[in-house]
Amino acid sequence: MRDDVEIIEKTTPFRGYFHLDCYRLRHRRHDGGWTEPMSREVFERGHAAGLLLYDPNRDQVGLIEQFRPGAFAAGWHPWLVEIVAGIIDDGESAEDVAVREAKEEAGVEIDLVVPVCRYLVSPGGSTETMQLYCGRVDAAKLSGIHGLAHEGEDIRVFAVDAREAIGWIDSGRVANSMTMIALQWLALHHAQLRNDWQRAD
């Protein structure tokens, strides 16, 4: 693949908690030739892990609601319904992050985890990837306000019937990709997952 992309120049005009790289490059065309040089900005946000909380006994999922400045800036309702998620720091595994975030953002422990998928969040302008998991939880413990005070988090956690949550994709109540993908995965694997996790008790 690297032989099919030529980086002419790479600069980093902004570096903070995240950073922005500017590439001047060209790449192979489908007909075997080369494109003209082009300039592209790439947002280096890091990589993240998310966890859908699922209780097979009550057949409920755990979701969170929190303020998102990006949604606010885009003119959307800024309190989004989401799954728990967090940035993967150096030396951490994606699964460890997902389990940790369940504790920090929802106040619950996870005893079983299965991988869902890994995908590029916005490959037209960012390197960020998301690794999704589903974790078994006791939905009776899903309530209250959570989050880390020093990060300014104000996160409400709640439980909802799995079928109702899946229906929120069509109704528009869920409007972010990680939560939609996790709930669509649950819709496909719902019966088998519930059966397997109830037997695992």
Q: Which of 113, 143, 123, 158 is nearest to 45 (CA)?
A: 123
pLDDT 10s digits, 85-100? 999 998 999 999 999 9
| 167-175 LR contacts (CB < 8 Å, sep 24+) | 168/81, 173/81, 174/81, 175/71, 175/76, 175/80, 175/81
Q: What is the mean pLDDT of residues 129-141?
A: 96
Q: How many CA atoms lie within 13 A of 127 on its CB side?
A: 14
Show me where the domains of the chain are located.
2-44, 48-199
pLDDT for the residue numbered 148: 79
Phi, psi of 33 (to 5 degrees): -80, -165
Instruction: Place 201 in a pLDDT band, splitting at 50, 70 and 90.
Output: low
156 closest CA partner among 69, 79, 87: 79
CATH architecture of 48-199: Alpha-Beta Complex (3.90)
User: Can you give the pLDDT at residue 168?
Assistant: 97
User: What pTM, to 2 d.p., does this model score?
Assistant: 0.90
What integer is the mean pLDDT of 6-27? 94
Instruction: State the catalytic residues.
Output: 151
DSSP state of 124: T
CA distance 3 to 122: 24
